[in-house]
Chains A and B, each alone.
Chain A
Amino acid sequence: MQFTPARAIFLNTLSLYAVALVLAVAFAAQLLLNELPCPLCLLQRIMFALLAVGPILNVRFGPRPSHYAMSLLAALVGAVVSTRQVLLHILPGDTGYGTALFGYHYYTWALIGFVAAIILLSMVLLFDRQFEKNASPRPAGAFASLAIWLVIALTIANVGSTLLECGFKACADNPVVYELLQRGS
């Protein structure tokens, strides 16, 4: 099977849906379990969102090594952030931050996700045929456009959610209420 530019763009589109899923699950946990994300948890969501910029550029302009490098850098910083939070809760007896999902907390899943992203991005970079020059990049189809708008919408939703949670000051280390909603009541 040849790894053509079209196939690479399809794979990038799937990765955008994966990022959207991660952001949506984090949102669902926040709303359904009423657990507010801590500063490091927010930073991990931010790094997942930043991970999506590379694939968006790949869909729009065609696959380029620089776009994959951007995602690799975002995944690397995300892995550092999630590793730190795993280490903060590694002591025996520590119940961790928030509710565990399928046995792991969000930051552990985040670490697994970032490491998986680093491995997958490195593997995709092995296939040179995707970088062959196109006459002009084809416009993105509905499937890719939906993925991009989904990720953008979830990122904008996080702008509103974080503003409600933290207000106009520094976020609490262990937030339990939405700062702006509390101020209004």
Chain B
Amino acid sequence: MEFTALFLAIAIVMLVAWRGARALALPLFGAVLLACVATYLHHATDVLKLSF
């Protein structure tokens, strides 16, 4: 569900960047980027087994 929301949010940011105000596109981009980082941290739970 969160990935659907992120794709939708990016589509909105793209439309704002293309047709809307630059002053709105920049903070929207920042918010989506932070949401992406939070989603990554939420999913990066598996232990990396790097010793072999």
Residues of A within 8 A of B (CB): 39-40, 42-43, 45-47, 49-50, 52-53, 56-57, 60-61, 66, 70, 73-74, 77, 80-81, 84, 87-88, 90-92, 148, 151-152, 155-156, 158-159, 162-163, 166-171
Q: Which residue on B lies nearest to A56, using beta carbons?
A: B17
7 A-B pairs closest in CB distance: A56-B17, A42-B3, A159-B7, A162-B4, A155-B11, A158-B7, A163-B4
Say yes or no: A43-B43 contact (C-beta < 8 A), given A152-B15, A156-B11. Answer: yes
Interface of B is mostly: helix
A–B pairs, 6, beta carbons within 8 Å: A46-B7, A53-B10, A61-B22, A84-B48, A162-B7, A170-B1
What sequence of 0s and 1s flags, for each residue 9-51 of chain B, a beta carbon within 8 Å of any chain A beta carbon?
0110111011000100110010011001101100110101110
State in angstroms the CA–CA spacing of A55 and B22 once bound together. 13
State in angstroms the CA–CA spacing of A168 and B25 once bound together. 27
State in angstroms the CA–CA spacing of A50 and B28 once bound together. 11
B36 and A77 contact, CB distance less than 8 A: yes
B26 and A50 contact, CB distance less than 8 A: no
Q: Which of A43, A47, A53, A155 has the most CB of B within 10 A?
A: A53
- Counting chain B residues whose Cβ lies within 8 A of the other chain, the interface size class is 20 to 34
B14 and A52 contact, CB distance less than 8 A: yes
Which residues of chain A are within 8 angstroms of B26 by Cβ–Cβ distance?
A: 66, 70
A167 and B33 contact, CB distance less than 8 A: no
Q: Which of A74, A155, A169 has the most CB of B within 10 A?
A: A155
Task: Name A57's contact: one of B2, B17, B33, B44 (CB within 8 Å).
Answer: B17
State in angstroms the CA–CA spacing of A40 and B36 once bound together. 11
Say yes or no: A73-B22 contact (C-beta < 8 A), given A46-B6, A87-B50, A88-B46. Answer: no
B36 and A43 contact, CB distance less than 8 A: yes
B1 and A80 contact, CB distance less than 8 A: no
Which residues of chain A are within 8 angstroms of B52 by Cβ–Cβ distance?
A: 91-92
Which residues of chain B are within 8 angstroms of A162 by Cβ–Cβ distance?
A: 3-4, 7
A166 and B40 contact, CB distance less than 8 A: no
A166 and B48 contact, CB distance less than 8 A: no
